[in-house]
A and B are shown apart, each in its own frame.
Chain A
Amino acid sequence: MKKFRSVLMILVIAALVLPLTALHAQETVNLRILWYNDGNEGDVLRDLLDRFEADHPNIKVTIDVVAYADLHNILQTQVEAGGDSAPDMARVTDTARFRDFYLDLTPYLPDADYWTASFAEPVLNSFRKGADDTGLYGFPTQFTITGPFINRTLFEQAGVDVPSDVMDEPTWADWEAAATEVAQVTGVPYAIAIDRSGHRIWGPALSNGAHSLNDDGSIMVDSPGLRKTLQMITDWHTNNITPLGVWVESGGEYASARPDFVNGQLVMYMSGSWQISGFSSDIGTSFDWDAVPNPYGEGGSTGIPGGAVLAAMKTTAHPEETAMVMDYLVQEDVLGEFSARTLFIPGHVGLAAKGVDYVTDDPNVTQALQTFLAEVPKLTPEAYGLQYSPIGFTFNTELRDRLGQVIVGELTLDEAIAKVQEAVDAAYQQVYGGS
């Protein structure tokens, strides 16, 4: 009888507890972030989210990491298909492409004004559909700036002055001459390289005096500054001072000269601030590397802003919880820690003004971050305009692929410029519906 009572008691307790457990399970909200990594930012985000989850036990956030090359295609399929496969948040770089799919967080945010005060208007506008749209859809996870790096050890070994050390406004020609001399003296195979990306070309082109962006948002490709820059990159190949693996052997996609620089095979490398973390870990103490100011030209000296954004997607079934996660991640202390640990330049206005106490003991990193921060005020309005133009991505990919054809002699510069113009005009028509 006693045994029977015990069993009965257990059954009664189970009957009471199990539904509560089920209720708790039902209340747990699972959110997903579609993410890609340049460096350690995925790990840092996970740490930050773990803390958020500890404070909000009913919300669980999963980070789905994909390769950057596949990111936008995967997201396109997921958000259009909707349902469970669609992420609640996504980190993207082609912000304009997903404008129809962003969730306006404004109604769910405790302090929407904090958002508008914390992020630059062009960045917030890049999510929006038009001038009437004042929604808040996402925020920049980091701010990037294009600019060159040099292998300072090679300059020292060659006994060649670093142009930015001895000249006020060194041009691309000055840098090319110096890097070529360093390569010749030290026996390093390559003097200079630029990533196979249209985005990377814009900075040198604007510095060389190019003007592309019109007031109505259309793009006029042809300008002496752009021609000069495209010819310069073509000549690097003709003169065999740049690695062929980047622009010629890589076919029709983005390619980076990073391995050549990291392996000490390249004197000067035009890339951007997102490389800093990777350089620190991969180069270590093998040689001294520096970021140097963007070379000067008729148009001054400018890089191109950029970076990734984290956006809330309207396919989410949990807008309130999604807004909670987003709002947590934009708080100054959280975003500050994210920037400090990832060695990213923050896209948060307050943090940028205050400065970030970066977690590093690598002097090269400190120097590089200071150099890139000094580049921010030099960014021209057109540099911002190109980056956040809805047809900027088309301009970027077309410029890249057509220049690739010029380099191998398939197209003349005139033909290439005409083809890029055709493509951006078609994209403009698609986006704005005008002519």
Chain B
Amino acid sequence: MNPFKLYGLFRRAVDAVVAKVFERLMTLLDLVLLPLQRLVGIKRMAYFFIAPNMLIFGIFILLPMMLNFYYGFTSGQSILLQNRDYVGTDNLDKLLSCKDYSDPNSCDEDLFWRGVQNTTQYVVAQVGTMVVLALIAALALNQKIMLRGFFRSVFFYPVLLSPVVVALIWKWFLRYDNGLLNALLVSAGHDRVQFLADPNWARFWVIVVADWAQMGFYTLILLAGLQSIPAVLYEAAEMDGANSWQRFQHVTLPLLMPTMTVVLVLAFIRAVQVFDQVFVLTNGGPGTATLYIVQYIYRQAFVESPSQYGLAAAASLVLALVLLVLTLAQLFFSRRSEAV
């Protein structure tokens, strides 16, 4: 017998068995679900169906959040709640106590404020540069250029890499000793540069690496936004004598704003949470030049001795508040753009 025919017969037989099993399973489920539906009513069945998800969410997200909230108001070395002392807002007071907020050294928790200062600088610079670069890339990839599909893949490829892999690749590239970039500089007759040992260079490269790793994702979103702009609008603008800059300014940019808003808010939230990539690339150094808030929290809880679980939890509450504001802003802007 023809092997393809045999395979077809086999597949049909397997399909039939699977369908039968599935049907029996559904019948069995009906035995439970039908009486339940009669008991609670069809509208309330939705709660039953989302219950498993809510259970997982409750155990792995809501409960830790609540525990963290409580930890933020306690002190001590123990990780068990019953062994921790309730200290009210002491941890928050310590975090926020500062003589001059522009000078972290004058703060009780100077590293927290260095983290805040570094994170603010990072968010502004990283989100700003990345959105501009992603927009330029999206505009370029929206043109009818040669190898368009290839270039789209190239821009998206770093997004598929793990942040740790990205950081390790760049670390090998940027190291003072045996770094590829410094080796190239030396072979070209230049002195080595302390790319990861000089605070300003380190801040610069942390942003470059983040842009490189994440840009493809936002480029894709912006590209989808660009492709949703009707071509007739460009044709009409062209017939009215608009040049390419004017078409970009008066057609592309306004119609891309809803997508841009989403991109900005998403990138903003992600930038505030920066940790893994920088942890591997610079570990917060040199000094504390690239110490961001999440790493400050990590250090307080898991590196310092004695561990400052309460302080770390309080800092994460502050961070959660910032992220909540950003998420609400995202909701507000996306609803407003939907209304438009």
Q: Which of B71-113 contact A (CB under 8 A)?
A: 77-80, 83, 105, 110
Q: How large is the interface on B (under 10, 10 to 19, 20 to 34, 35 or more residues)?
A: 20 to 34
State the 8 A-B residue pairs at the shortest beta-carbon distance, nearest first.
Answer: A251-B283, A408-B287, A251-B285, A244-B197, A393-B305, A248-B197, A410-B287, A251-B284
Question: Which of A42-50, A69-77, A379-387 is near enough to bind chain B?
Answer: A69-77
A315 smallest CB distance to B (angstroms): 13
| Contact pattern, B 280-292, Cβ under 8 Å of A = 1, otherwise 0 | 0011111111110
> Which residues of chain A are near B254, meaning CB under 8 Å?
none
- Determine if A189 and B177 form an interchain contact, defined as CB atoms under 8 angstroms apart: yes
> Which residues of chain A are near B304, meaning CB under 8 Å?
397
CA–CA, A405 to B77, complex, Å? 27
Nearest opposing residue in chain A for B76, CB measure:
A430
Beyond A245-B175, A245-B176, whether A253 also contacts B194 by CB under 8 A is no
| Contact pattern, B 301-313, Cβ under 8 Å of A = 1, otherwise 0 | 0111111000000
- Determine if A248 and B286 form an interchain contact, defined as CB atoms under 8 angstroms apart: yes
**Extra contacts besides A77-B79, A393-B306, A404-B287 (15): CB < 8 Å:** A76-B307, A97-B305, A245-B177, A251-B282, A251-B286, A252-B303, A393-B305, A394-B305, A397-B305, A404-B285, A407-B287, A408-B199, A408-B286, A409-B287, A419-B110
> Which residues of chain A are near B306, meaning CB under 8 Å?
97, 393-394, 427, 430
Question: Which one of A248, A405, A408, A415 has the greatest number of beta carbons of chain B within 10 Å?
Answer: A248
A225 smallest CB distance to B (angstroms): 24
Q: Tell me, yes or no, whether B131 is within 8 Å of chain A by CB.
A: no
**What is the interface of chain A, defined by CB distance below 8 A to chain B?**
72-73, 76-77, 80, 94, 97, 189, 243-245, 248-253, 265, 393-394, 396-397, 404-405, 407-411, 415, 419, 427, 430
CA–CA, A405 to B284, complex, Å? 11
CA–CA, A244 to B279, complex, Å? 17
**What is the interface of chain B, defined by CB distance below 8 A to chain A?**
77-80, 83, 105, 110, 114, 175-177, 194, 196-197, 199, 279, 282-291, 295, 299, 302-307
- Determine if B287 and A405 form an interchain contact, defined as CB atoms under 8 angstroms apart: yes
Question: Which one of B110, B279, B286 has the greatest number of beta carbons of chain A within 10 Å?
Answer: B286
B167 smallest CB distance to A (angstroms): 12
Beyond A76-B79, A244-B194, whether A252 also contacts B305 by CB under 8 A is no
CA–CA, A427 to B279, complex, Å? 27
> Which residues of chain A are near B279, meaning CB under 8 Å?
251
- Determine if B78 and A249 form an interchain contact, defined as CB atoms under 8 angstroms apart: no
Nearest opposing residue in chain B for A260, CB measure:
B177
Question: Which one of A189, A252, A410, A427 has the greatest number of beta carbons of chain B within 10 Å?
Answer: A252
> Which residues of chain A are near B282, meaning CB under 8 Å?
249, 251
- Determine if B283 and A250 form an interchain contact, defined as CB atoms under 8 angstroms apart: yes
> Which residues of chain A are near B80, meaning CB under 8 Å?
80
A309 smallest CB distance to B (angstroms): 16
Q: Which listed residue (B110, B177, B197, B299) contacts A252, Cβ 8 A? A: B299
- Determine if A252 and B289 form an interchain contact, defined as CB atoms under 8 angstroms apart: no
- Determine if B283 and A252 form an interchain contact, defined as CB atoms under 8 angstroms apart: yes
> Which residues of chain A are near B285, meaning CB under 8 Å?
248-252, 404, 408
- Determine if A94 and B299 form an interchain contact, defined as CB atoms under 8 angstroms apart: no
A398 smallest CB distance to B (angstroms): 9
Can you list 25 A-B contacts with CB-CB less than 8 angstroms, sorted by A residue number?
A76-B307, A243-B177, A244-B197, A245-B175, A245-B176, A248-B194, A248-B285, A248-B286, A248-B287, A249-B175, A249-B197, A250-B283, A250-B285, A251-B279, A251-B284, A251-B290, A252-B295, A253-B283, A393-B305, A393-B306, A404-B285, A404-B286, A408-B289, A409-B287, A410-B289
Q: Main secondary structure on chain A at its contact with chain B?
A: helix
Q: Main secondary structure on chain B at its contact with chain A?
A: loop
Beyond A76-B307, A94-B305, whether A410 also contacts B288 by CB under 8 A is yes
Nearest opposing residue in chain A for B94, CB measure:
A426
CA–CA, A410 to B118, complex, Å? 13
CA–CA, A180 to B275, complex, Å? 38
- Determine if A415 and B105 form an interchain contact, defined as CB atoms under 8 angstroms apart: yes
B15 smallest CB distance to A (angstroms): 46
CA–CA, A397 to B304, complex, Å? 7
CA–CA, A77 to B79, complex, Å? 7
CA–CA, A245 to B302, complex, Å? 23
CA–CA, A427 to B295, complex, Å? 22
> Which residues of chain A are near B194, meaning CB under 8 Å?
244, 248
Nearest opposing residue in chain A for B194, CB measure:
A244
> Which residues of chain B are near A408, meaning CB under 8 Å?
199, 285-287, 289
Nearest opposing residue in chain A for B105, CB measure:
A415
CA–CA, A205 to B194, complex, Å? 29
Question: Which one of B77, B282, B305 has the greatest number of beta carbons of chain A within 10 Å?
Answer: B305
B7 smallest CB distance to A (angstroms): 47
- Determine if A411 and B176 form an interchain contact, defined as CB atoms under 8 angstroms apart: no
Nearest opposing residue in chain B for A190, CB measure:
B177
CA–CA, A411 to B111, complex, Å? 12
- Determine if A72 and B305 form an interchain contact, defined as CB atoms under 8 angstroms apart: yes
Question: Which one of B80, B177, B286, B287 has the greatest number of beta carbons of chain A within 10 Å?
Answer: B287
CA–CA, A427 to B110, complex, Å? 17
B179 smallest CB distance to A (angstroms): 10
- Determine if B284 and A249 form an interchain contact, defined as CB atoms under 8 angstroms apart: no
Question: Which one of A73, A393, A407, A410 has the greatest number of beta carbons of chain B within 10 Å?
Answer: A410
CA–CA, A177 to B285, complex, Å? 29
A154 smallest CB distance to B (angstroms): 17
Q: Which listed residue (A249, A415, A419) contacts B286, Cβ 8 A? A: A249
CA–CA, A72 to B110, complex, Å? 25
Q: Which listed residue (A249, A252, A265, A407) contacts B291, Cβ 8 A? A: A252
CA–CA, A189 to B177, complex, Å? 10
A67 smallest CB distance to B (angstroms): 13
> Which residues of chain A are near B77, meaning CB under 8 Å?
97, 430
> Which residues of chain A are near B290, meaning CB under 8 Å?
251
> Which residues of chain A are near B110, meaning CB under 8 Å?
419
Q: Which listed residue (B79, B176, B196, B287) contacts A80, Cβ 8 A? A: B79
Question: Which one of B78, B176, B295 has the greatest number of beta carbons of chain A within 10 Å?
Answer: B176
> Which residues of chain B are near A245, meaning CB under 8 Å?
175-177
Nearest opposing residue in chain A for B202, CB measure:
A249
Nearest opposing residue in chain B for A408, CB measure:
B287
CA–CA, A62 to B80, complex, Å? 27
CA–CA, A115 to B283, complex, Å? 43
> Which residues of chain A are near B177, meaning CB under 8 Å?
189, 243-245, 265
CA–CA, A189 to B282, complex, Å? 22
Nearest opposing residue in chain A for B199, CB measure:
A408
B75 smallest CB distance to A (angstroms): 9
B131 smallest CB distance to A (angstroms): 28
A396 smallest CB distance to B (angstroms): 8
CA–CA, A303 to B304, complex, Å? 24
- Determine if A249 and B196 form an interchain contact, defined as CB atoms under 8 angstroms apart: yes
- Determine if A405 and B288 form an interchain contact, defined as CB atoms under 8 angstroms apart: yes
B20 smallest CB distance to A (angstroms): 41
